[in-house]
Amino acid sequence: MSYFDIDDILMQEERLPCVASIDVIKMGSLDPSSATPYLRKGSKVDLPLWLIKSYREKNGEDIFEVDPPKFLGPKYLDMLRADATVINLQSWCSHFFSFAITYLTLFQDGDLATTIQDSFGHRYLVILDISQNAVQDDTSEKTRNLDQLERQLFHAGLQDDRAQQQWRRRQAHRILPWAGAPRRDAFELGHLTKRPKLSFS
């Protein structure tokens, strides 16, 4: 987790349903029904992703059996497979793709990884299109269904398109001659004086 990235912090605060695989010392406070300092084996708790990740990294074993969050469950994944471009991911999870990527680094799931990758690819093409056609539009409506990562991509594409449009407008400006340059008709009518000879003596 990057402590300088607020989006990363918020993403890893997402809670997942867990079941303790063993008795966990000094974790009893996580279970309101526990009267001991231990989190007993089989206890069901919802834990933030950062805590699950920390335990796995420090202990090198699965202290908890972790279920995916609702928005990564079969029903939601079926909707993504049907047409990912129409889904309002902001209503599912504001950091959907960032969370899914982090989750997959902890829990290998080939089918989930394929669905996430395909969904991102389809939605990225839409984001690319709308970002290049929204220079004069209200962008709030266009980004309503996007998660935070997608919004960053959208605004990056929008800024790039605006910069390109500005460059094109500058290139389209008429190139005017220098005010002190001789007029063309001066050459044609022979009104120019003879060029002075240069002397190097």
Token pair, residue 44, equals 């069901």
More confident residue, 193 or 138: 138
Give the model's pLDDT for residue 130: 87
Architecture of domain 69-171: Up-down Bundle (1.20)
Whole-number Å distance between alpha carbons of 113 and 92: 18
Give the model's pLDDT for residue 192: 43
Token pair, residue 90, equals 């902001």
Residue 67's pLDDT band, with cuts at 50, 70 and 90, is very high
- Chain centre to alpha carbon of residue 96: 9
Give the model's pLDDT for residue 27: 75
In words, the CATH class of domain 1-67 is mainly alpha
Give the model's pLDDT for residue 161: 75
More confident residue, 127 or 189: 127
Whole-number Å distance between alpha carbons of 40 and 22: 7
Q: Are 52 and 18 in contact (CB under 8 A)?
A: yes
Give the model's pLDDT for residue 80: 97
Nearest to 127 by CA among 97, 169, 172, 163: 97
What SS3 class is residue 24?
strand
- Least confident range from 46-60, 61-75, 111-125, 161-175: namely 161-175
Give the model's pLDDT for residue 5: 78
* Sign of the alpha-carbon torsion through 19, 25, 30, 32: positive
Tell me: the pLDDT tens digits for 143-165?
899 999 999 999 888 888 777 77
Give the model's pLDDT for residue 167: 77
Q: Does pLDDT of 32 surpass 90?
A: no
Give the model's pLDDT for residue 70: 95
Give the model's pLDDT for residue 110: 94
Q: Where exactly are the structural domains of the chain?
A: 1-67, 69-171
Give the model's pLDDT for residue 189: 43
Q: Does pLDDT of 168 surpass 50?
A: yes
Mean pLDDT, the chain, as a whole number?
A: 81
| Confidence (pTM) | 0.73
